[in-house]
Amino acid sequence: MAATLPPPRLLPSGDSAVTVEFSRTIDDDANQRVLALDKALAAASIDGITESVPTYRSLLVHYDPGRIGFDALSDKLLALASQPLPPSVKARRWRIPVAYGGEHGVDLEDVAKALNTTPDDIVARHVAGDYRVAMIGFTPGWSYLSGLEKSLHMPRRKNPRLLTPAGTISIGGIQTGIQCLAGPSGWHLLGRTPVRTYQLHRNPTFLTEPGDRVTFFAIDHKTFAEQDRAAEAGELIAEQVAS
């Protein structure tokens, strides 16, 4: 017995994009609906839609108002969003190596202290997690993962760092993430992965897709150095396993 799905809110994002919002909060069911609508939209190939961007709780749909107007597009989006969710397809799963702590995870000890436990215990909890790529955003390859264990939820840093290393694995709020390029971050840095989720002249350029499953496993810093060189030369490093 399929319950009727509540309709999403259609929020105008200017004259050439609309945000299809399923929830105001981070919510796995809403994220499933976002990804389902993204797929349905791609299959429907509606004239005038130029690009869609899935996020945790909404799908941003870019379109050309010269080819389709807001009202006509809204009707089509609502119709697609009301379709029952397709049976869940087997997602890809990536096993991602992480060198935790030390110079690669400068916040690991502080996180352990704040949570009244040891760095090893934090690592054990983090690698035990079964995560899903909820969205990719901010900078190329920055993969926001849902599924962080409750005991690791922590407010973001009061003072964001202006520069954090490429490959940083961090936690912030109720999320964990894989940051590909060096850049600013207000999250707590637990470690680094040699895996590039984005690498320009590699095939594929982008490793992760929204909806992919992710698990982490710990490697030592020597292995990190070796794998980092291999990754720089274009190897994927990440293992794809059956979900």
Partner 1 sequence: MSRLVVASIGPASSVQDGGRPGSQRYGLTPSGAMDRLALAAANCLVGNEPFAAGVEIGPFGASFTARDGAVRVALAGAPRNADIAGRAVAFDSSVTLKDGETLTLGFARGGAFSYLAIEGGIQGEPVFGSLAVNARAGLGSPYPRPLLAGDEFTVDAASGASELRIELPKPVAGPIRVVLGPQDDEFDDANKALFLASEWKISPTSDRMGYRLEGPAIKHLHGHNIVSDGTVNGSIQVPGNGAPIALMMDRGTSGGYPKIATVITADFGRLAQTSAGTAFRFKQVTMAEAQDEARKFAQLIRSLPDRLRSADTVALNIEALQDANVAGYAVSAIDAGTWQVSAEP
Site string for partner 1, 185-224 (x = CB under 8 A): -------------x-x----xx---x--------------
> Using an 8 Å Cβ cutoff, are 59 and 73 in contact?
no
The residue range among 6-14, 111-119, 123-131, 215-223 that interacts with partner 1, by the rule CB under 8 A, is 6-14
Structure tokens of 105? 């995870």
Among 7, 15, 75, 130, binds partner 1 (CB under 8 A): 15
DSSP H helices, 24-169, are 28-44, 70-81, 108-114, 119-127
The secondary structure of residue 221, as a DSSP letter, is H
- Based on the shown chain and the rule CB under 8 A, indicate whether residue 7 belongs to the binding site for partner 1: no
Looking at 28, 44, 50, 160, which residue binds partner 1 (CB under 8 A)? 50
Q: Which residues pair with 132 in a beta bridge?
A: 146, 213
Exactly one of 105, 141, 167, 191 binds partner 1 (CB under 8 A); which one?
141
Write the interaction track for partner 1 spanning residues 16-35; mark x where CB under 8 A is met and - where it is not. xx-x-x--xxx---------
| Cis ω for the linkage preceding 204 (within 30 of 0) | yes
Sole binder of partner 1 in the list 82, 139, 240, 243 (CB under 8 A):
139
d(CA 23, CA 25): 5
For partner 1, the binding residues in 75-134 under the rule CB under 8 A are: none
- For 227, which DSSP code? H
Q: Which is nearer to partner 1, 19 or 215 (CB)?
A: 19
Closest Cα partner for 213 from 120, 100, 43, 88?
Answer: 88
End-to-end, the C-alpha distance of the chain in Å comes to: 27
In whole angstroms, what is the distance from residue 23 CA to residue 44 CA?
Answer: 23
CB closer to partner 1 out of 112 and 212: 212
Residue 229 binding partner 1, by CB under 8 A: no
The answer to the question of residue 66 lying near partner 1 (CB under 8 A) is: yes
Rg of the chain over Cα atoms, rounded to whole angstroms, equals: 19
| 13, 19 Cβ separation under 8 angstroms | yes
Pick one of 36, 37, 49, 56: the residue that binds partner 1 (CB under 8 A). 56
Which residues would be at the binding site for partner 1 (CB under 8 A)? 11-17, 19, 21, 24-26, 50-60, 62, 65-66, 69-70, 135-142, 144, 180-181, 183, 198, 200, 205-206, 210
